[in-house]
Amino acid sequence: MLGTRKGKLFQFMNHKVRCGIGNNRVLMGQFVAFDSHLNLVLSGADEYKRLTHIDEDGDECELEQTRPLGLVFVRGEAVHSIIADKPKKKKKKKKKVEDLPKSADTDSALQKNPKKRPRESDQMDEAEIMARRAALELEMKNRKLTS
């Protein structure tokens, strides 16, 4: 029986998760399915195992072994923790100052696309842009001097 939409785990379906299963083992893979017993199915899973090793000098070292597992069924009894990675957000492309239309070009931009209204930043003249750049450069120099 697959989890229902009401369950909190359902929101992490098809996301990459990290599942702690004891004995210093962690499974990482895509969360595919679960049931009422918290049995999990992970796709493309890798196992990460931490080992402590004592050197000849008597120093304690930690080693991490990894091995690819593929499609894995994890018994719910063995699951200690489930941590989901956040989905990547799409970054919006910012317009450069040079790409903004000048005030003389706003009329032609409106004729091409009448739904697109010019913003105040679209109507800045070059002198204002240069003044803002100079102010930002001065502020950056002051920050470097104070730190």
Q: Does the structure show a pLDDT above 80 at 74?
A: yes
Q: How many CB atoms lie within 10 A of CB 144?
A: 8
pLDDT at 66: 93
Q: Model pTM? A: 0.52
Q: What would the pLDDT profile of 18-66 be if each residue is shown by its tens digit?
A: 999 988 899 999 999 998 888 999 999 999 998 887 878 888 888 889 9
Task: Kindly state the average pLDDT of the residues 93-113.
Answer: 53
DSSP codes joined into one string, 115-139: T-PPPGGGG--HHHHHHHHHHHHHH
